[in-house]
Amino acid sequence: MRFLFACLLVLFAIGAPAVDFNDKVSEDPDDSEVEADWFRGQEAKAAKYRLGRAQATAEDLDDAAAREYLDEARQLLADGHGRGARKKALKGFKNHRYSQYADDLQHVAVLGYAKKADLSGMLESLVALWLCFPDHPEMDAAMRVALDAAEKRQNFSTLVNLEAEDPADVIDLEGESWRDEYNRVFRFLSRNGDRESIAPRASLGLARSLLISEDRKGFPTVRAAYESFLDDYPDHELTFTALTELALAYLSTYRGEHYDVGALVNAAAVIDQAEIETGGDAARAKVVQDYRRRIRAWHQDRDGQVATWYDRRGQDDAARIYYAEVVARDPNSDDARRAERALDKLGPPPTPEYVRDLTPAAARP
């Protein structure tokens, strides 16, 4: 009977998680077959481990020795020695694989890797913890530490500059080669973390990776990533953040005053949506005001330059239209004052030679 139970355990460990992971892989254009193969290998190792654990006897556990390794690893971690803590924990796990402290040793290994910003090692230990010990009581805590480490490595906030002179420069594009390491962490956590805090943050991390690595040609993919987040978490506390970053995505596609102004218009519309999510929070309201101020300034600059372009070519009617837009959008701005002076210089539009008689026919003599 015990052997039959162990066999069923192996089938469950190999079969159940694999189906979910592979389904997700097929939906994720940024996921590679190499990563999928790696995960399947981790599943196979975890299945073998769980079978060995099910068959282990009390004499094989060596709990006391495992506890010594655990205490030493935790002390090293507390003293700031992440590498030493990780090495001690993994050695304890290797020597006492089936002890009652095996899951705690893997957990400390995750923490040690995270402290040294070794995301590859951290993910391997985290996945081992998740596959081998699904009931580990501190699983969420381990995931949060891993997520913190990946977000710190991504360092998104330092790559955003809303005060950039050119809207296309609001995001510091970093390229793709460096992002794969923490994206593997984000992908794992977006699939398997809780949907209240871990999975949403990880999903936003994936969208950010696209935003800071794609050029204008990749914008549809970036937009789709943020819209997917908003579809999955429409009422989440991060919805406001996702909307402001979607606005950044639009701004980064703006090509300048000689091109379509739609990027600025769309960014402004997204910020209008973000305002709904401020919830009366003063800090968020200020963010909305800052975005509107910058978008309005860029739009004013664009319309002012277009108006000047028409003005210099003697196309007075078109120039008047754009100067008037500048004045109407923000009458108290320097751009508006310049536009008003230009309008005064142009003078009123000439009176048409023929004015259609709007008098009703019945009232005519």
The whole model's pTM is what? 0.81
pLDDT 10s digits, 209-238? 989 887 677 789 999 999 999 999 999 999
Q: What value does the mean pLDDT of the chain take?
A: 86
What are the Cα distances from residue 202, in Å, to 109, 238, 349? 21, 11, 57
Cβ contacts of 57 within 8 Å, gap of 6 or more: none
pLDDT 10s digits, 189-205? 999 999 999 999 999 99
* pLDDT classification of 130: cutoffs 50, 70, 90: very high
| 252: pLDDT strictly greater than 80 | yes
pLDDT of residue 33: 82
Structure tokens at 50: 């769980």
Cβ contacts of 43 within 8 Å, gap of 6 or more: 13, 14, 17, 18, 21, 131
- The whole-number average pLDDT for the span 175-198 is 86
Question: What are the sequence ranges of the domains in the chain?
Answer: 298-346
Q: Which of 200, 213, 275 is nearest to 244 (CA)?
A: 275
Q: Are 335 and 326 in contact (CB under 8 A)?
A: yes
| 324: pLDDT strictly greater than 60 | yes
What are the Cα distances from residue 70, in Å, to 57, 95, 347? 21, 12, 84
* pLDDT classification of 256: cutoffs 50, 70, 90: confident
3 state SS of 294:
helix
pLDDT of residue 260: 77
Q: Which of 192, 196, 252, 214 is nearest to 225 (CA)?
A: 214
